[in-house]
Structure formats: structure tokens, C-alpha cells
Amino acid sequence: MKTKIFLIAGFTVLLFTCQPLQAQFKFGVHAAGNLEAQAPWGQLWNNVDLYQGFLIGGFLEYKTGLKLSLQTELNYQKKGSKITSTIEGNESTEKREFNYITVPLLVKVNFRDETLGDKYDFSFFTGPYLGYLTSANSNLKTGTITTDVDIAGQAEKKDWGIIFGTGVAYKLANDGAIIGEIRYQMGLNRVDKLDTDLRNKGIGITIGYRF
């Protein structure tokens, strides 16, 4: 809890401190729908069903004046996995839900397509992220029986990895912009103390507004 309060307070102070520098700093909010899996090192996913997660949060972008910019974020993110199998003739589905506060630090390369005019800015970006687990649980449904188990004790508290993505920003008349992105997030740290091979993997579409 102390870590979450510290992150939220720090991000808020950073936003207000940077208000006079709006020519260089831009901030905004975004949300994403993600397809998540927990797979061993070196695999995008391990032939299991994809779990439907999401992301919601805010970001702060610093433009260098060239084609490069730096972006940091504070997000609440739901990750996890889904496994469907058959047990004694009954279909069984286990959903493992891991909730995180995540803080990425991204390096963005920005460019424009002259044929589309100056309304559109395109970007490629990559960078590390750090996540802190807030809760974890397992939901097992077999036939008509559903069992919920708190598995936070067997989950690693920290998650970290690398983000890759591409995006487009459509500029509005009020100097704001609507942003769309496709992101792939590759976890590098184990997420389960019992199964040390598993890492978080996810791909999603992010929609946001930059002020």
C-alpha cells in the first residue's frame, strides 16, 4: 500500500511541476484491452487460451525537440492466464488473475507521413517497465462448481520486462490529440514461486487522449 501511495503521489507532483513547460511536456490518459498469457522464457505463449486483461492509467511525455521523446506512465493493469481442460468428462476452466501497478519508461521515435499532412504523428517505441503486484487469485470452474482461491502468497511481488510498440496521434484543434497504439509486453521476471518458468506476456490496443 505504501508503494502505491508513493507512486501515485510522485506522478501527481510531476504533472503539476511540469505544467509551465507544456511546450516540452505533454500529459494524458489512456486505456487498453489486452490478450494475456503466462508462458515460459522464450515463448510468446504456451498453447493455452488467452486471458482478457486491461490497462488504465496516465502518462507524461517529454519531447526533446527532435524526433525523440521520453514517456513515463503510471498504470493499473490486469494480467493473467486461462487454461481449459477436461476432468472426468467435465470441462474445467482455470483463470489466474494478477493485478499490478506498472511504471514503464519508453523511448519514442516520432515521424510524419507527408502524404497525410501534419495532423498525424507516428511513432515506434520501446523501453522497460516495472510492476508491483496488488492482488492475485485463481478462479476454477468445473461443470457447475466454481472455486476462488487467493494465490497472492505464491506470486512474486515484482514484475519487470520490456515493451515494444507502435502508435499514431491525431492532432486536434485545441492542441490535444487522440492516440492509438499497439503494444507487446514481454515479462522477464518469473511471476509464480511454484512454477518458476512462467513470465507475463501480453499484446493489446491502447486508446488515449493527450492534453
185: domain range? 2-210
Render pLDDT for 17-50 as a digit per residue (tens, 0 to 9).
Answer: 444 444 589 999 999 999 999 988 877 666 668 9
Q: What cell was used for 27?
A: 500529459
**Residue 117 pLDDT:** 77
d(CA 185, CA 150): 25
**Residue 45 pLDDT:** 65
Does the pTM surpass 0.85? The reply is no
d(CA 39, CA 197): 7
**Residue carrying C-alpha cell 517529454:** 62
d(CA 107, CA 22): 19
**Residue 46 pLDDT:** 65
d(CA 30, CA 12): 16
User: Which residue numbers in the chain have pLDDT < 70?
Assistant: 1-23, 44-48, 87
**Residue 113 pLDDT:** 79
d(CA 202, CA 185): 5
Number of structural domains the chain divides into: 1
Dihedral pair phi/psi, residue 42, rounded to 5°: 90, -5
What is the percent of the chain where pLDDT is above 90? 66
Which H or E run includes 69? strand 68-87
Render pLDDT for 108-136 as a digit per residue (tens, 0 to 9).
Answer: 999 987 777 789 999 999 999 999 999 99
Scored b (16 or more CB within 10 A) or e, 113-131 reads: eeeeeeeebebebebebbb
**CA distances (Å), 112 to each of 3, 14, 122, 207, in order?**
39, 29, 6, 19
The CATH number assigned to the domain holding 201 equals 2.40.160.20
